[in-house]
Amino acid sequence: MWMVFFKGMGLSAGLIMAIGSQNAHVLRMGLRRQHVGLTVLTCIACEIALISAGILGVGTLIASHASLLTLARWGGAAFLFWYGWRAWRSALQTQTLHVSQGEQLPRRAQALAAVLGVTLLNPHVYLDTVILLGAVGGQQAGTGKFWFGLGAIANATIWYLALGYGARLLAPVFENPQAWRRLDAAIGLMMWGLALSLLLT
């Protein structure tokens, strides 16, 4: 039981800790202290839904329909290009950015739409959770599927809570406006790189 649990936890950790659009967004919201609870809880809820769907066999269904994967790839690339452009626009702004002041607080609906976008419009999320975790979890015998999924979900919960609420520990570094500009520039490059990788695969 516990071996399967930690197997799910370990595989999930290996996949989720890679820097990607979702992690970058959670980090940015945590640094700005903007809708952190909403952002973190939405990420966790999406992980629960996607991992559960994969273990229940949805991953196999999606993998067998090339048209669905193609649609997800192009839609995800378009979204990542747009998100990267927003990050670059922010990086090129000349006004001072401070953690204590920040930019205008987005509405809850805007914050929810943003986190859902970086989560659900990124095909890599489906490849990691629904297809890969789902395939491994689905192979577990008996109640092993449940314990594997629970381990993967436990890791995701710990990771997003730590990333979202732990980001404030970096707040002193980001009191420097140049640090914000570098972060936004790095996020912009990463988003465009992810978008290109989607189109080239």
Q: How many angstroms separate the CA atoms of 111 and 150, rounded?
A: 27
The verdict on residue 160 lying in a domain is yes
pLDDT at residue 44, rounded to an integer = 96
Query: How many structural domains compose the chain?
Result: 1
- Per-residue HEC secondary structure of 153-187 comes to HHHHHHHHHHHHHHHHHHCCHHHCHHHHHHHHHHH
The verdict on residue 26 lying in a domain is yes
pLDDT per position as a tens digit, 38-85: 999 999 999 999 999 888 877 566 656 667 667 666 776 777 787 778
- Please give the residue range of the domain that contains residue 138: 2-98+108-200
Q: Which whole number is the average pLDDT over 130-140?
A: 75
The verdict on residue 103 lying in a domain is no
Identity at 143, one-letter amino acid code: T
Instruction: Reply yes or no on whether the pLDDT at 97 is more than 50.
Output: no
Mean pLDDT over all residues of the chain?
Answer: 79
Of the pLDDT bands very low, low, confident and very high (cuts 50, 70, 90), residue 14 is: confident
